[in-house]
Amino acid sequence: MNNRNKFSLRHGLGVAAMALVSSMFYSCGSGAAENKTLPIYGEREAVERTVNGQTVTDTIYHQVPAFAFINQDSQRVTEETVAGKIYVSDFFFTSCPSICPKMKSQMLRVYETYKDNPQVVLLSHSIDPQHDTVAVLRDYADRLGIETEKWHLVTGERDSIYDIASQYLVAAQQDAGAEGGFTHGGDFILVDGDRHIRGNYNGTEAEDVDRLIADIKVLLNEKKNEKK
């Protein structure tokens, strides 16, 4: 088994376990969204810092690292683009013959629900950057009928895209044996304003996307309560 397949299996099991925890958080109790909470995905990391001349170790939650890509309007998209915002991330390619059309139809539901809320954005990464140029992504965005400031379709260096996928706890890779030449899941990843992963959803299933739409509201309420 190669390293990428090991990664896919390991994180697949991890995501499945966290999805179970998430469902427990979501189903327990019958209060409104403002009374619910969502887990933070990923393993905690030990970080050393100096306090009053002493080295102390803090344990922090996994955070999506800094990134830099280019969107359908040739604009640079970085972690600063989504700073303080709730965003949904996924991985696709425009010539995908299998799950991508269904994923995009479901992501459009998220887009339509929150298109007037500036605190929510969408970030879709092409895993076929050689084909999916800015011009190709612009055409794809036009066919979807989306606004760039709300939904960024990004491209970049192939390895950078595959590496950032691993930071979202999903796998994406080139695979000559796969339909369309690439392997990726249908995951929609929910990320909060601190770039912590708060949910993973099957982007091909309407029922799971319903849960995502509801969980975005949970994070919006969480953010509102933090300001009080």
Give binding residues as ranges.
96, 100, 184
Dist CA 189 CA 212 (whole Å): 9
Residues 6+ apart with CB under 8 A from 210: none
Q: Which positions make up the binding site for Cu cation?
A: 96, 100, 184
**Of the candidates 66, 75, 67, the residue with the CA atom closest to the CA atom of residue 148:** 75
